[in-house]
A and B are shown apart, each in its own frame.
Chain A
């Protein structure tokens, strides 16, 4: 049974649909990431599930109860806010048990939960401190601990890592994921960071302009993007897209991931271009190539690429790695055909 089920959920602000009739399900114990660029409606969706916004239409099931019009406290959810929303005048311990206290949970139970949750999140040394005496990462943990302490079946997270520095963010990704799996929590996680989505999610719901662009396992979105939008949004650097030959009368866009492109002799590639820039990452180098017809290509080369800016290069890849999209609708085209009419690679 799904833990959360969304049906035809719509929210309009002043006649403009921020969320436009979306449907998705989150299985019990799953971590589902709502991914998308800013303004795509992912945060509004989360707030609708939380009950912080009233839906214009649609139903929200938690378990088998439609909670769409219940107050937040009756939805059996907890939430971690982007700003953490810690109570500044309460200590860490008081913050964590705030909800339990308000709900009238017995003192002994509160103490026991506090001890357990503090141990899980490594907050034991800080329980007597106020939030302003904590670092960003520690505040994040307090917010997380507060969400866990309620033992609600669903945990909502609204860009929880966006205020942390890169190193801490990487640590917290692993930690949140481990915690979620250990506790068997169902988590609905909003982020605009596709790395968070790829690394943490069981299932990704990619949103764009209030609608769901594609949903599935991270690998599905990466390996078989259903639309041009997904292809460009998931993966960094983004998939290279270029106009391919017309098949069956439709203009077609072809796409190939940077890691599938190789730099070859100018005469040997499917496309020819000039090296415009080099980004050395250590393990690999991303080479920016201005290909013919004004197409910008990114090529991921292992190690340190031996290319010089301004050098003419050929771009080669296996046809199996090519994706095709209908240029008019942006939808994926499955029929495999020779998109590129250039000479096959011989090198």
Chain B
């Protein structure tokens, strides 16, 4: 006899919503999901909704409780030059670091995927920056950038170059912190490319060689298209990281000089936890989420069409 509630026999035919219907089985399912739902809700969904609600309210001050202000918070944000500066900086930061980090990751992966002596050591070396905490990385680079006796100035000194304060100069500070991000991110992305490259059967390269494809043609016609899903994944992550990772800003510049390295999340921290301006911080959070969500969506919708998934 077939029992309708046997767990090892999923209902066939028409799709059913996971918790449609009633009965003991549904209750059990919900109970099993409860722990993770509670944690997820408490630390992700509820804060997100609270932030969204807060963004329409004023900051509570002393005896004046928070009240509904409509879109005022965003209007204020739009009039804040530092917000625009941070947004511009962050856009430049993303446009500068992402292509470089991803390109470098691919180049390194292609290099250590080949038959070269000591490739295990090389792979590890490339991956090391990923293992280090960003705080440590920032400290290392802080030393590199130190005027006069830092690594760069010591090397520059050998060629008779004058000491420079790269982090102290508004025209170079952003580029200096971008370099750190590229250095840190490239190794991480390399691992994904390396894993994907190793999924490509060597037969394909041999078949292409017999068919007359040069190494470059093989890369352009076969390797690169087959890496597309990974590239998409990496790009989405890179964009999120470009707006999310600001640890080194704290360590290296504090957003300065003159907001030259102020990024959106750093600005958010300043508003929320230095100035305790809850309303502005909430509004900026919503802006940040909208920016990230739309970039990710665009990437999936437009790139996803061309990507071949195996």
Contact with A along B187-224 (1 / 0, CB 8 A): 00000000000000101101111111100010001100
Query: Which residues of A sit under 8 angstroms from B208, Cβ to Cβ?
Result: 87, 98, 102
In the complex, the answer to whether A85 meets B201 with C-beta atoms within 8 Å is yes
| Prevailing SS type, chain B contact patch | helix
| Bound Cα distance A73, B217 (Å) | 13
In the complex, the answer to whether B212 meets A103 with C-beta atoms within 8 Å is yes
| Bound Cα distance A88, B229 (Å) | 13
Query: Which residues of A sit under 8 angstroms from B206, Cβ to Cβ?
Result: 50, 52, 72, 79, 81, 85
Q: Kindly report which residue of chain A lies nearest to residue B308, judged by CB atoms.
A: A89
Query: Which residues of B sit under 8 angstroms from A83, Cβ to Cβ?
Result: 201, 203
22 A-B residue contacts at CB 8 Å?
Answer: A52-B209, A52-B210, A71-B209, A72-B210, A73-B210, A73-B211, A73-B212, A73-B213, A78-B211, A79-B206, A79-B207, A81-B203, A85-B201, A85-B207, A87-B207, A87-B208, A89-B226, A98-B213, A99-B211, A102-B213, A102-B221, A130-B308
In the complex, the answer to whether B226 meets A72 with C-beta atoms within 8 Å is no
Tell me the number of A-to-B contacts counted with CB atoms below 8 Å. Answer: 66
In the complex, the answer to whether A50 meets B210 with C-beta atoms within 8 Å is yes
In the complex, the answer to whether A77 meets B210 with C-beta atoms within 8 Å is yes
| Bound Cα distance A150, B213 (Å) | 13
Task: Tell me, yes or no, whether A146 is within 8 Å of chain B by CB.
Answer: yes
- CB within 8 Å of B: which residues of A? 50-52, 71-73, 77-79, 81, 83, 85, 87-89, 98-99, 102-103, 130, 132, 146, 150
A347 to chain B, nearest CB (A): 58
In the complex, the answer to whether B209 meets A132 with C-beta atoms within 8 Å is no
| Bound Cα distance A132, B309 (Å) | 10
For chain B, the bracket of interface size reads 10 to 19
Given A83-B203, A85-B203, A88-B226; A102-B211 close (CB under 8 Å): yes
Query: Which residues of B sit under 8 angstroms from A81, Cβ to Cβ?
Result: 203, 206-207
Q: Kindly report which residue of chain A lies nearest to residue B209, judged by CB atoms.
A: A72
Q: Kindly report which residue of chain B lies nearest to residue A152, judged by CB atoms.
A: B210
In the complex, the answer to whether B217 meets A102 with C-beta atoms within 8 Å is yes
Task: Tell me, yes or no, whether B64 is within 8 Å of chain A by CB.
Answer: no
Task: Tell me, yes or no, whether B225 is within 8 Å of chain A by CB.
Answer: yes
Q: Kindly report which residue of chain A lies nearest to residue B211, judged by CB atoms.
A: A99
| Bound Cα distance A83, B202 (Å) | 11
